[in-house]
Chains A and B, each alone.
Chain A
Amino acid sequence: MQAFFDIFDIYLMEAVINGILLGGVLALLALGLNLIFGVIDVTWICYAELVMIGMYAMYFLVQSYGLSYFVAAPLTILLVALLGAALHYLVIAPLLTAPPINQLLATGGVLFVLQSFATVAFGIDFRNLGIRLPVLAFGDMNFSYARLLSFLAALVGMVAVYLFMTRTFTGTAIRAISQDRQIMALMGVDTKRIYLITSAIGGGLAGLAACLLVLQYDVHPFVGLSFGPITFLICVLGGLGNFIGGFIAAFVFAEIISLGGLFSDLEWGYVLAFAFFIVMMFIRPAGLLARRR
């Protein structure tokens, strides 16, 4: 066993494993965005801002109301799910027949609204949940429990969504709509209801991601900007609406960020990821898993 670890640089191993753990949360975020895009054909530019609101919800539920983390988490997920449904009902539904660009920009406006709402309501201070989870030592490598927990919870969340999509009638209807938008209304599926449910699920996934991210990062109104762009990159690299492609791309990106961060600042990890993305655009323009036509 020891000989096995000697082959690799111990820090390299640690970065690789941390990358995998980060990939879980990124995959969760990408799944929510992909779901919305695949079904409703709308990109929520403000997706990361929903996560930000969820992180604030966690912070206040735990800090101000003294709820335990595991009580606060379902409440937060419910809240952000409602927020997602409201976003669809108030902003997207009136624009369903508008050009796609207008839908996209309207959610961009919501990004402004959510950011400034957080600034007004909560101030621009960095806030920390204040839960310190122990660090797991494994050989010479250290992993935080927060990351491990996030990774596992993200996996559970994704499996739950998968089961919902394949085993229930509503899930089947959602998948059917993403395949053919026009015909499903004729097949007796209430598209409006399905859109609303999908938005709520998308919001719920953002809420779950918020519960996990709040363990690792401080909350502030602009926290969405630090992982919003990377989520979009992941979705495009995986192919918008392609769940499996997004899943794989999330781990690829997480590794690049983690390894880039090992050699330099974290920001340079992002820059490397972007450079990689541009190169991939030349090689696989329609996403990682796209079939060559």
Chain B
Amino acid sequence: MMGQGRLAAWGIGLAALVALPFVYRDPYHLHILVLILIWSFAYTSWSMMGRFGLVSLGHGGFMGIGAYVTALLWNHLGWSPWIGIPIGMVAAGALALIVGYPCFRFRITGHYFVLVTLALSGIVLQVITATRDYTGGSLGYTPNRAPGDKLWALQFDDKITWYLIALGVWLFGIMVWHWVDRSMARYALEAISEDEDAAAAAGVDVTAEKLKITLLSALMTALAGAIYCQYQMFITPDTVSGIAVSLQMVFAAIVGGLFVSLGPTFGAVITILLAETLRIGFGTKAVGWDNLVYGVLLVLFIIFLPKGILGSLLDRLKPQRKVPRAHEQEAVQIARPGA
């Protein structure tokens, strides 16, 4: 599918990204870049299911599990993150299956699904806060510094290493996105997002397809949480889990554009740069102003640019390339069966 030109553009872009830290070493800017890459990966993970109309606000929960399980296993049992991260991912995946199965089996969609997953991220936050004897509660948690082997503990002091790790993880996320984009599952899920009954009648196993994409998305989000924890070396329930983080993911993906592979990344660039600029612009004297402006902008975005910046730009550049799919349209729902 990918033309020669696009492949070349990707190659050049990647080479430039890999070379960047060796040319330009400003630690603050590198830090921002690492954060953008890690969050881009998380947002991409969210959009894997978000693009099929499965709007989950539970991803803050998955991210929190990934981060806390990894850190807890390291501190209490001395297990390396190389073991802890897979365990954290499995835990998040198991939770995704436990919550996802009844939702999908009993056709809980739309508002219901959003509210159930919203509660999920709220509950993970509560559990982390409630087990404050182990997790430090709202005060946050710091993985112990490794005395010896840095690689074994997955703790690195220099930003360049972290930049390369984050770049690799982000690239992995984009590759998975394209892999799903070209798979049969994509067509099945698009059919499901348009009409579940029709998809089921056409032989699509609705529950299984939805569970698969949810599991994939949850696993990747937990990985993002663990990487974030290892990079920042400090996590609080509010920065890696809870409703605020979930909403942040959804917003960034929507601002960037849900239906293009680089949309969530674009969203991460915009939202993080915006947040940083506002934070620096307003300084420490006015806590909360940055979020206030951020929130207003997001509401305006959803009202006026629902396809996101990148999505709208691409639409502008390639008019009438394809008939928009029903779930991407802003159509008045005329007949509401069962309402």
Residues of A near B103 (CB, < 8 A) are 281
How far in angstroms is the closest Cβ of chain B from A222? 8
Tell me if B302 and A116 are in contact (CB < 8 A): no
Q: Determine whether the beta carbon of A277 is less than 8 Å from that of B119.
A: yes
CB distance from B233 to the nearest CB of A (A): 24
B111 within 8 A of A: yes
Residue ID in chain A nearest B247 by CB atoms:
A108
Write out the residue numbers on chain B whose beta carbons fall within 8 Å of the beta carbon of A262: none
Contacts of A116 in B (CB 8 A): 288-292, 294-295
Chain B residues near A228 (CB, 8 Å)? 122, 243
Tell me whether B298 and A109 are in contact (CB under 8 A).
yes
Scoring B residues 138 to 151 as 1 if CB is less than 8 Å from chain A, else 0, what string do you get? 00000000000000
CB of B288 within 8 A of CB of A112, answer no
Contact B115 A232 (CB under 8 A): yes
Question: Chain A residues near B283 (CB, 8 Å)?
Answer: none
Residues in chain A near residue B302, CB distance under 8 A: 95, 98, 102, 105-106, 109
Q: Are the C-beta atoms of A110 and B295 separated by less than 8 Å?
A: yes
- Does residue A136 face the partner (Cβ distance < 8 Å to B)? no
Q: How many residue pairs at the A-B interface have CB separations less than 8 Å?
A: 154
A29–B288 Cα distance when bound, in Å, is 27
**A95-B302, A181-B339, A229-B118 known; A285+B102 contact, CB < 8 A:** yes
Nearest CB in chain B: distance from A43 CB, A:
5
CA distance A39 to B118 in the complex (A): 22
> B291 to A281, Cβ gap below 8 A?
no
Interface string of A41-65 (1 = CB under 8 A from B): 1010100000000000000000000
**Cβ–Cβ < 8 Å partners of A117 in chain B:** 288, 292
- Residues facing A in B112-131 (CB within 8 A) are 112, 114-116, 118-120, 122-123, 125-127, 129-130
Q: Tell whether B336 is near chain A: CB-to-CB under 8 Å.
A: yes
**Given contacts A104-B55, A108-B247, A282-B102, are A98 and B289 in contact (CB under 8 A)?**
no
Q: Which of A97-137 contact B (CB under 8 A)?
A: 97-102, 104-106, 108-113, 115-120, 124
Determine the chain A residues whose CB is within 8 A of the CB of B251 once the complex forms: 105, 108-109
Q: How far is the CA of A100 from the CA of B112 in the complex (A)?
A: 11
> B295, A225: Cβ atoms under 8 Å?
no
Given A104-B114, A229-B123, A267-B126, A97 contacting B299 (CB threshold 8 A): no
Interchain CB contact under 8 A, B330 and A98 = yes
A111's nearest neighbour on chain B, judged by CB, is: B247
Which B residues, 83 to 109, have Cβ-Cβ distances below 8 Å to chain A?
98-99, 102-103, 105-108
CB A42 to nearest CB in B, in angstroms, measures 9
Establish whether residues B295 and A113, one from each chain, have CB atoms under 8 Å apart when the complex forms: yes
**B303 with A232: CB separation less than 8 A:** no
Minimum CB–CB distance from A280 to chain B (whole Å) comes to 9
Closest to A233 in B: B119
Binary CB contact string for chain B from 229 to 245 against chain A (1 if under 8 A, 0 otherwise) = 00000000000001110
**Interface bracket on B:** 35 or more
The size bracket of the interface on A is 35 or more
B286 within 8 A of A: yes
Q: How far is the CB of A117 from chain B (nearest CB, A)?
A: 6
The answer to whether B111 touches A104, judged by C-beta atoms less than 8 angstroms apart, is: yes
| B126 touching A43, Cβ below 8 Å | no
Q: Which of B53, B98, B254, B302 has the most CB of A within 10 A?
A: B302
Per-residue CB contact flags for chain A residues 219-232 toward chain B (1 = under 8 Å, else 0) read 00100010011101
Q: Is B323 interfacial (CB 8 A cutoff)?
A: no
Q: Which of A11-19, A143-151, A268-276 has 4 or more CB atoms under 8 Å from chain B?
A: A268-276
Most B Cβ at <10 Å: residue of A104, A108, A111, A282 = A108
Complex Cα–Cα for A118 and B302 (A)? 22
A235 near B: Cβ within 8 Å?
yes
Is B243 within 8 A of A267, CB to CB?
no
- A120 to B287, Cβ gap below 8 A? yes
CB of B306 within 8 Å of the partner chain: yes
For the complex, is B332 an interface residue (Cβ under 8 Å from A)? yes
Contact among A99, A232, A267 with B129 in the assembled complex (CB-CB below 8 Å): A267
**Inter-chain contact B332/A268, CB cutoff 8 Å:** no
Q: Is A211 an interface residue (CB 8 A)?
A: no
Residue picked from B126, B244, B330, most chain A C-beta under 10 Å: B126
Taking A37-B111, A116-B295, A271-B130 as known contacts, 17 extra A-B pairs with beta carbons closer than 8 A to each other, sorted by chain A number, are: A43-B111, A43-B115, A91-B303, A98-B330, A108-B247, A108-B250, A109-B299, A110-B295, A229-B243, A232-B115, A232-B119, A236-B115, A240-B112, A265-B130, A271-B126, A278-B98, A281-B106
Nearest 3 A-B pairs (CB), nearest first? A229-B122, A285-B106, A119-B288
Query: Residues of A at under 8 Å CB distance from B?
Result: 37, 41, 43, 45, 91, 94-95, 97-102, 104-106, 108-113, 115-120, 124, 180-182, 221, 225, 228-230, 232-233, 235-236, 240, 265, 267-268, 270-271, 274, 277-278, 281-282, 285-286
A–B complex contacts, Cβ < 8 Å, 6 sampled: A104-B55, A104-B114, A116-B292, A271-B127, A274-B123, A285-B108
